[in-house]
Structure 1
Amino acid sequence: MKQLFFVLILLTGSSVSAQILNQFDSNGQRDGKWKKNFENTDVVRYEGTFSHGDEIGTFKFYKNVQGKPVLTATREFNPNNDTAKVTFLASNGKVVSEGLMMDKLYIGDWKYYHSSGTQVMTLEHYNNKGLLEGARFIYYPSGQIAEKSLYEHGKLNGNALWYAENGTVIKEYHYKMNTLHGAAKFFDEFGTILAEGNYLNDQKHGTWKYYENGELKEEKDFTVISKNPYKKSE
């Protein structure tokens, strides 16, 4: 009888503690387990744990799909710094993308996946200000690289390459802080040159050459002539 009474106390205590949600500490900071629903519904919007106002552990975020919660993202907070590992999910539970965030900023490496499988579609890197920095890669579903470009403080800067699925470079551009500026070349999927020339501030500039079967067929002059705004038109 005493054993039964003890078990009942344990079960009751567990039930009560499980229902203690959305509490504040003596300073008015959120503390302990929290769970919030979508407005005017009993569908959970997010759930997680606070420690005196700070998010700790793993938070789960949901969307309301016809009155049912569907997990759409998780945030796993690092106890040693202000970052969190974030994972975004499709409705079927498949990972869409994942990486680190600091508050609302993307930082560090981020991966995006093809919808048809687990193969990485895009790999990019963000600096501590949430701006793209360094190399950014895009891949075919086969895993072959499709595009490589370079970023500096959130802007395209340097060479950008596009590839056919057989690995052949089919396009080359050069950017200067988000502007096409420098040499450009175009090839077919076998690597045979199709055209080449230069850009100046997003415009074709100078002599452009066009090829057929690798042989020069035509040249066009796109020299950009700067206009003097103080010269009177004749």
Structure 2
Amino acid sequence: MRMFFLIFFGMVFTSISSLAQNDINQVDAEGKRHGVWKKYYPNSNQLRYEGTFEHGKEVGTFKFYCEECKENPSAVKEYKPNSNLARVKYFTIKGKLVSEGDMDDKDRVGEWVYYHKKSNEVMTREWYKNGKLEGKKITYYPNGTVTEEVNYANGLMEGPNLYYSPEGVLIKKLKYRNDQLQGEATYYDASGNVVIEGFYKDGQKHGLWKYYKDGKVVLEETYPKPVERGN
């Protein structure tokens, strides 16, 4: 009798397992993926991704894995109901959050946040429109002080670009136009005193550049420099 029950429960467990497996990686009448899907790397038990489709459309939470990830996903997408938007998070192989933001299909949109490697403090905040950088990008020191601010328009640097010391002192002031350095450039020391000032044109130093020490000009250079010709 005991042997009968062992065999019976073994058959039931096998049947349940088989049914569960048959419920994975299914398609609907139109051949579109539907229900829970799981894919593995070739010749491996390591998951590549897992998630749920609704007649070919991703819904709910999707998890993506690298070949060495084991149980820690390298990326997680959480699709928002009745929307094409998904909240996306990227992780290290040990499971630490690297960055997060929204995606519309394959395009980044809205604010994206990146974190420092050795802490959970924010390293960078940047904004996207239709997959391209748009607006101000801000980078931070680990202590939370701003280290750099730069503006973007349609994916290209445009406008002021400011750098700060860990103490919050402005140490560099530049300008960009169409992704190239363009216009006045000023460099400061740790006390906020001007040490260099000049001008950029099409990404290159142009015109008169002045170098200061103790508030006085100690060197002047003009760009582009004349080409020296051999005798």
Aligned counterparts of 2:220 and 2:90: Cα–Cα separation in 1:
50
Aligned counterparts of 1:123 and 1:17: Cα–Cα separation in 2:
47
Provide, for residues 199-233 of structure 1, a one-character-per-residue CA deviation record: whole Å limited to 9, x for no partner.
Answer: 111122222111012222222222689xxxxxxxx
Query: How many corresponding residue pairs?
Result: 215
> Residue 54 in 1 paired to residue 92 in 2?
no
Report the aligned-residue RMSD: 2.1
1:80 Cα offset (Å): 2.0
1:133 Cα offset (Å): 0.5
Aligned counterparts of 1:222 and 1:22: Cα–Cα separation in 2:
65
Aligned counterparts of 1:103 and 1:84: Cα–Cα separation in 2:
8
1:27 alignment counterpart = 30
1:89 alignment counterpart = 91
> Residue 36 in 1 paired to residue 78 in 2?
no
1:188 alignment counterpart = 189
> Residue 119 in 1 paired to residue 131 in 2?
no
Aligned counterparts of 2:167 and 2:61: Cα–Cα separation in 1:
42
* Alpha carbons 2:68, 2:93 under 8 Å: kept: no
Say which is worse superposed, 143-152 or 196-205, in terms of deviation: 196-205
Q: Which amino acid aligns with 2:50?
A: E
Structure 2 unaligned runs (5+)?
Answer: 1-8, 227-231
Q: Report the secondary structure of 2:147's partner residue.
A: strand
Change (3 A) 1:204 1:56: same
Change (3 A) 1:55 1:221: same
- Per the normalisation by structure 2, the TM-score is 0.87
Q: Which amino acid aligns with 1:102?
A: D
2:141 alignment counterpart = 140
Aligned counterparts of 1:198 and 1:111: Cα–Cα separation in 2:
33
Structure 1 unaligned runs (5+)?
Answer: 1-7, 226-234
* Alpha carbons 1:49, 1:59 under 8 Å: kept: yes
Aligned counterparts of 1:14 and 1:123: Cα–Cα separation in 2:
48
Q: Which amino acid aligns with 2:119?
A: G
* Alpha carbons 1:205, 1:224 under 8 Å: kept: no
The equivalences for 1:82-231 within 5 A come to 82-128=84-130, 130-222=131-223
Q: Report the secondary structure of 2:73's partner residue.
A: strand
Aligned counterparts of 2:193 and 2:140: Cα–Cα separation in 1:
22
1:13 Cα offset (Å): 8.6
Aligned counterparts of 1:13 and 1:52: Cα–Cα separation in 2:
27
* Alpha carbons 1:75, 1:86 under 8 Å: kept: yes
1:232 alignment counterpart = none
* Alpha carbons 1:182, 1:198 under 8 Å: kept: yes
Percent of pairs identical after alignment?
A: 43
1:89 Cα offset (Å): 0.4
Change (3 A) 1:97 1:182: same
1:79 Cα offset (Å): 1.6
Q: Report the secondary structure of 1:70's partner residue.
A: coil
Aligned counterparts of 1:207 and 1:44: Cα–Cα separation in 2:
60
